[in-house]
Structure 1
Amino acid sequence: MAQRPKGFKRLVTAAALGFVALVVMAAFWWRDDIASNALDPKVPFQTYQPPTAPDYTQRAAWALLPAKPEIWTTADPPADIFFVGPTSYDGGRDWVSPIDDVQSDKFFRRVVAPNYAGPFLRIGRLFAPRYRQASLYTLLTLREDARDARRFAYADVVAAFRQYMAADNKGRPFIVVGVEQGGTLASRLIADEIARDPAMRARLAAAYLMETVVPAETPPLTPCARPNEAGCLAAWASAFEHDNERVQALRDRSLVWDANGELENIAGRTPLCFNPLLGATANAAAPAKLNQGAANATGLEWGARPAFLTRQVSAKCQDGILRVSRPKPKMLKRAGSWADKRKVPGYNLFYGDLEADAKRRVVALMSSPGFQRPAPPITEVRTVKGSTVHRIGR
């Protein structure tokens, strides 16, 4: 049998290597589509059987909860924080997560709580419900099934809020915080539950919707116009300078609530833009020297105060998007798996700014002439000769 020339073998080898290179390039180019497809539940939401609903009278339904939520003393922070976390569930077979998903809880405790709930830890008692959150996949597609999953998640959040208000708030000042998907859910919560209730609004120090697109023309609350204002809304979605791809995605693909409680595209409307460095919804540029403290708190023990890096970023609202300069420290750059890089980053560029801002707004609320301080709670019940005596905490 005649041997094939060496040139032919080299040609076959080159062709094979070229094919492999082409496959690798194609996989890289379409990596988002490939990964996204792997997370697709591949069943219609209408026929999907969701996990069991949480019972918010039980401690297991809360990711963060005071030791005695129904009782408070003067040793506690002056306010409450109702915190709606972002997506921490990748998905796959499910459209929404069970509240006891181990990986979701691990991401919340390692990344979300220390970086995004942490700035409010010294401002108020934290209440963070576990809810059947829509999976990461629902943030990567505009399919109606994905919208159904996100609407479904809202029912848990509003149930948790009503339980908190009925059993634990007891007239205390409070702050609502939402991040990404949690911010979108909190936006509707504010419109449905708080904005329509004058007594509740009178106790709201502020609402912070981080990395959340809210139409500037129809905000659920009056936007914060100055740092010492109480009862207002601070909402923003950010992009690094020159990251035009993210800016375009925020403008074209963001979903917001309409008047009927349905999710719709923002469709060219300008988002609301609060600048954490200025403490106001304004278009003025804020230089890096105003940055009170970026922090990477990922992995820190809960309650530990992270080291602050001051003067790390400048920020300016432009066409409704908060344009932020890129920080230089490696600890303030995204890391982790493909899925992790599409969730909230493991750092907070405005940690110190938000902590100071929230403190100012609580002080402003509690020092306002019309604010009614809540009565101290009953902390002890004793029976004396057949009669019940209630001791009031001080």
Structure 2
Amino acid sequence: MRLIVWAALAALLPLTSCLNLLKPPHDFAHYRPAPAPDYADGRNWAALPTRQDSSHAVPAQTTLRDQQATAEADVFFVHPTTFFWRSSWNADVGNCRLNRFTDRSTIRKQASVFNAAARIYAPRYRQATLYSFFDSTAEGNSRRALNLAYTDVRQAFQYYLTHHNQGRPIIIAGHSQGTDHATRLLHEFFDNDPKLRRRLVAAYLIGFKVRPREYKTIMPCRDSLETGCFVAYNSVTTGNEFPPFSRVAVTNPLTWTQDTLRAPASLNRGGVSQRFKRIDPQVTDAKIHDGLLWITPPKPGGYPRFLLPGEFILRHSFHIVDYGLFYLNLRENAQARVRAWQLRSK
């Protein structure tokens, strides 16, 4: 089941019915998870810079180029939820059908944002199923599923540091579930380690809840060239309110500031729709409002909305295209921050 299909179901069916379609039939304790991935095996990586994969893609009708071969920085990218099935609480990294969907969707349309600025490392991991984000049972199924997923992400990052990084500057990036895990990585590896933190170009913690004071030492980015900081936002149609996200950290990807002024669409360098064919200039504006990034719905097709369930229902979310709406701004900003990091490190 694709995320767009889930969005359509959410629009057509009662919310509880939609969620029940995705709920695993048994508690986490009654499942035997698939074996943990061995990150020495390249098949357990969705993206590696040393081979041709979906992270090397660029929109077809553009002059953009993959530059991983000569990039002087790395990005460790944690992909969002692509496992929606109810068969288990966690995915199997050996599921070829799931891996193809992950590669063609998020690795191609999100991780590729960084292929002009950095070498891309994106692990496959035993991701928690989508229902984990809506489960509130006393058994703690969701937290146990997400903790298992994080053990894989953590192991992959440790393998990357030991075998691939070689002291290079690092971008940490994710989306949705991937951002949940990336946020934990920053806590565990960077917040209390000044040596590793000096190599942090920036973290792009998009599509999830990150508090402004999430870390002791890592703060939200204040401008387009600050390094060692993080960027966070969640895109929704202007006029929406969502109390669970109140006071969540937000960076405006058109200005790279945290003020609440509306940034006009003229500052949008270009979005890339789900079709991944072209750049759509000035696709939308952006304004920070109480933990959300308010946008005007784009006119070009291919930017689907998504009903985000939870304690409150957030309608008209553009969660699926958090990266796509600001594709070129993100791409150019990653390059600019790498250059700024290099200048400051001389």
Q: Same fold (TM over 0.5)?
A: yes
Note closer, same or farther for the CA distance 1:102–1:74 as it changes in structure 2 (3 Å cut): closer
1:63 to 46, 53, 56: 46
Could you list the per-position Cα deviations for residues 306-334 of structure 1 after superposition, in whole angstroms to 9, with x for gaps in the alignment? 52111111111111211111101112235
- Cross-structure match for 1:242: 239
Q: 1:356 offset after TM fit, Å? A: 1.0
Give 3-state SS (helix, strand or coil) of 2:202's partner.
strand
Note closer, same or farther for the CA distance 1:317–1:334 as it changes in structure 2 (3 Å cut): closer
Given that residues 313 and 325 in structure 1 are in contact (C-alpha distance below 8 angstroms), is that contact kept between their aligned partners in structure 2? yes
1:283 to 254, 257, 260: 260
Q: Which is higher, the Rg of structure 1 or of structure 2?
A: 1
- Cross-structure match for 2:333: 357
Q: 1:30 offset after TM fit, Å? A: 4.6
The total of aligned residue pairs comes to 310
Partner Cα distance (1:229, 1:357) in 2: 10
Partner Cα distance (2:127, 2:319) in 1: 13
Note closer, same or farther for the CA distance 1:167–1:243 as it changes in structure 2 (3 Å cut): same
Residue pairs, 1:19-38, within 5 angstroms = 30-38=13-21
The letter for the 2-side match of 1:283 is T
Given that residues 297 and 347 in structure 1 are in contact (C-alpha distance below 8 angstroms), is that contact kept between their aligned partners in structure 2? no
1:317 to 244, 263, 288: 288
Residue pairs, 1:1-394, within 5 angstroms = 30-67=13-50, 76-143=70-137, 144-219=140-215, 221-244=218-241, 247-248=242-243, 250-251=244-245, 270-296=247-273, 298=275, 306-334=277-305, 344-345=320-321, 348-368=324-344, 371=345
Given that residues 296 and 347 in structure 1 are in contact (C-alpha distance below 8 angstroms), is that contact kept between their aligned partners in structure 2? no
Given that residues 19 and 131 in structure 2 are in contact (C-alpha distance below 8 angstroms), is that contact kept between their aligned partners in structure 1? yes
Q: 1:240 offset after TM fit, Å? A: 1.3
Note closer, same or farther for the CA distance 1:346–1:112 as it changes in structure 2 (3 Å cut): farther
- TM-score in terms of structure 2 length: 0.83
Could you list the per-position Cα deviations for residues 113-171 of structure 1 after superposition, in whole angstroms to 9, with x for gaps in the alignment? 12211110111111000000000111233332112211221111010000000110000
Q: 1:99 offset after TM fit, Å? A: 0.6
Could you list the per-position Cα deviations for residues 224-281 of structure 1 after superposition, in whole angstroms to 9, with x for gaps in the alignment? 001111111101122111344xx24x53xxxxxxxxxxxxxxxxx6100011101123
Note closer, same or farther for the CA distance 1:121–1:198 as it changes in structure 2 (3 Å cut): same
Q: 1:213 offset after TM fit, Å? A: 0.9
Which stretches of structure 1, 4 residues or more, deviate above 6 A after TM superposition? none
Note closer, same or farther for the CA distance 1:83–1:75 as it changes in structure 2 (3 Å cut): closer
- TM-score in terms of structure 1 length: 0.73
Q: 1:57 offset after TM fit, Å? A: 1.1
Given that residues 68 and 115 in structure 2 are in contact (C-alpha distance below 8 angstroms), is that contact kept between their aligned partners in structure 1? no
Could you list the per-position Cα deviations for residues 65-102 of structure 1 after superposition, in whole angstroms to 9, with x for gaps in the alignment? 1227xxxx995211111000000001212000001223
Note closer, same or farther for the CA distance 1:217–1:343 as it changes in structure 2 (3 Å cut): closer
- Cross-structure match for 1:378: none
Partner Cα distance (1:99, 1:197) in 2: 30
Partner Cα distance (1:238, 1:186) in 2: 19
Partner Cα distance (1:57, 1:44) in 2: 32
Unaligned runs of 5+ in 2: 1-9, 52-66, 307-316
Given that residues 81 and 128 in structure 2 are in contact (C-alpha distance below 8 angstroms), is that contact kept between their aligned partners in structure 1? yes
The letter for the 1-side match of 2:132 is T
Given that residues 88 and 343 in structure 1 are in contact (C-alpha distance below 8 angstroms), is that contact kept between their aligned partners in structure 2? no
Unaligned runs of 5+ in 1: 1-26, 252-268, 301-305, 336-340, 373-394
Q: 1:29 offset after TM fit, Å? A: 6.9
Given that residues 68 and 116 in structure 2 are in contact (C-alpha distance below 8 angstroms), is that contact kept between their aligned partners in structure 1? no
Aligned-residue CA RMSD in angstroms? 2.5
Partner Cα distance (1:150, 1:234) in 2: 22
